[in-house]
Structure 1
Amino acid sequence: MAATVKKEPVAAGGASSSDGADLETQVIELLSTNPNGITNQELMAKTVHMDAAQRGMVVNRLLSTGRIEMKKTGAGNADFLLKLRNMNNAEKIKGASAEETVVYGLIEEAENRGIWIRDVRNRSGLSQTQLNKVLKTLEHRKLVKSIKTLGATKKRVYMLYELEPDASLTGGAFYSEQEFDSQFVDLLNQQCLKFLKARSQLALEKHGSNLSAVRRMSFVPSTEVWQHINDLKISRIELTIKDVERVLDSVVFDGEAEREPGEKHPMYRSRAAAAPPAGLTRVPCLYCPVFSDCKPGHVVSPASCAYFQDWLT
């Protein structure tokens, strides 16, 4: 199999167990100086003092103990890349087969954005049947999990079991069961605006007629609003500052708040409600381009004016 280094029988007088441990240490040190990994060809060139049997034994031993991981360098490519594994994850994968180690490594590399099963199959070189068996084992051991992606219910991606999926996969805090939670967003809008209005009222009470000071003290950094919203505990998960800024921006777009750049985070303040215009200013006659031609009994007249009728009703 492409994911396993071929073991060759060790000739009489081959490496003892202590020699084997020493060779493993040499490979570990070699990989530690090449954090991006080395190919099989590079490994052979840098371990010319080892014969093929020793090299294969060392690599397979390190794979089985989870110290290193193996990745194909590309779809359809017979060569592979060897890298040191994160020691925390190495302990979790200890005792896994070479195939399980390879698949786990690919999923680990994808981090919280996950990797599609088709990409795992192409990069691991495993058949669909083999891959399904490996994934089932890894899921049973709670090493990996599958996540349905937003907008593509039939497409599942795999990631490490302990990771929280990226918001681009699930929709983030504003989605529940992959559906936009409009009621929750409305509640956040109301609470954010309420907080901004309270700050504006406080600024007005403290600074009275000093309009410049009132305006300046009415602005609130997004971090303060974020802390307030999290303190209310109205969200099933802890919102990020970016989540709250998205809500605040929607309040700005609705014309109920304004935003200014801050030193580290944007600042927001509520906007005073605009006074309703006087009735006379809404009379269509004031803006009519043919006002001078409008006379009772004429072609253009108040009696036949559609705009005037709309205004009256």
Structure 2
Amino acid sequence: SAYTELETHILNILNDNPNGLSDDSLSKKLKNVDITSKTEALNKLLEKTRIMVVSQDNGELAYKYIDEEEAQRRRELSPEEYVVYQFIEESGNKGMWINDIKKVTKLAAKTGEIVKKLEKKGFIKSVKTIKAKNKKVWMVMNVEPSQEVTGGMLADDVFDRDLMDLLGQKCVEFIRAQGRCDRKQVSIFIRSLSLSQIDLSDEDLFRILETQVFDGRIEIVDDVVKEGYLQSSSGTVLPNNIYKVSNWYTPRLIFNEIPC
């Protein structure tokens, strides 16, 4: 259906603010709009699934933009499915336990059935969590689970010592070839090799480098930080150390076995 001039204006404002805007922040950008008109427009946009309400880190509610294609997908959901989906969406990369979904939606026994429907329609996925064996959390399909949920490539069920050794060796070889380089440069290089079938998180790569430092193969250059602290994809802040190969380190030589 068509949008009013005010609805279009609100959509443009929210589109320019991808992290969302609180009610106060939005009101400041709608200087000459009275509260009644603003409320009516927001309710219409919520009905059309063109905006969503989310909780910010400070606990304040905010409005976020939804593009037309995504809005069309959401309109295919029943009211109950949409309620469940919104709560799962708000849980972000940590996901939600099925019992927590039951509590917040108050849908009791129907929750499991609705979750399965959302999974079948491709809206959500289940992810095994390291916090409880054989249990899983639910999150939106295109969200990458946090390290806190999966444990990364160093989790027990995916740990691969040979792969860890290989990645460590490649890190050292790259640093040796560069002379000096920071963690960000090493991360870009290692990911470009595509040696792991598991997506390597920033935390995984940081721990691989820390292992090489501990083993004496590389060292941190005077604790110099090239670009301060960088935030990883899961939100963890990690130091962007500059590394060099240890002076005494001799690269491993691999000889071919020649049969007698």
Q: Quickly name the TM-score band, shorter chain normalised.
A: 0.5 to 0.7
Out of 157, 164, 168, the residue aligned to residue 189 of structure 1 is 168
RMSD (Å) for aligned C-alpha atoms: 3.8
Residues 1:266 and 2:241 are matched in the alignment:
yes
Residues 1:92 and 2:53 are matched in the alignment:
no
CA contact (8 A) 1:70 1:102 kept: no
- Pair 1:198–1:65, CA change in 2 (3 A): closer
Q: Classify the secondary structure of the residue corresponding to 1:91.
A: helix
Q: Classify the secondary structure of the residue corresponding to 1:266.
A: strand
Distance apart, 1:268 and its partner CA? 0.8
Out of 175, 179, 184, the residue aligned to residue 223 of structure 1 is 184
CA contact (8 A) 1:64 1:94 kept: no
Match of 2:206 in 1: 245
Residues 1:66 and 2:52 are matched in the alignment:
no
Percent identity between matched residues is 31
Structure with greater proportional strand content = 2
Distance apart, 1:231 and its partner CA? 3.4
Summarize the alignment of residues 1-313 of structure 1 with structure 2, pairs less than 5 Å apart.
35-36=21-22, 65-67=48-50, 86-87=66-67, 89-127=70-108, 129-175=109-155, 178-199=157-178, 218-237=179-198, 239-260=200-221, 261-264=224-227, 265-273=240-248
- Pair 1:187–1:141, CA change in 2 (3 A): same
Q: Which has the higher contact order (CA 8 A, sep 6+)?
A: 2
Higher Cα Rg: structure 1 or 2?
1
- Pair 1:62–1:103, CA change in 2 (3 A): farther
Q: Which amino acid aligns with 1:93?
A: R
Distance apart, 1:142 and its partner CA? 0.6
Q: Classify the secondary structure of the residue corresponding to 1:179.
A: coil
Q: Which amino acid aligns with 1:257?
A: I
TM-score by length of 2: 0.64
Count of aligned pairs between the two proteins: 208
Q: Which runs of 4+ in 1 moved over 6 A?
A: 61-64
Structure with greater proportional helix content = 1
- Pair 1:36–1:156, CA change in 2 (3 A): farther
Instruction: Map Cα deviations across residues 177-202 of structure 1 (whole Å, 9 max, x no partner).
Output: x3322221111112222333445xxx
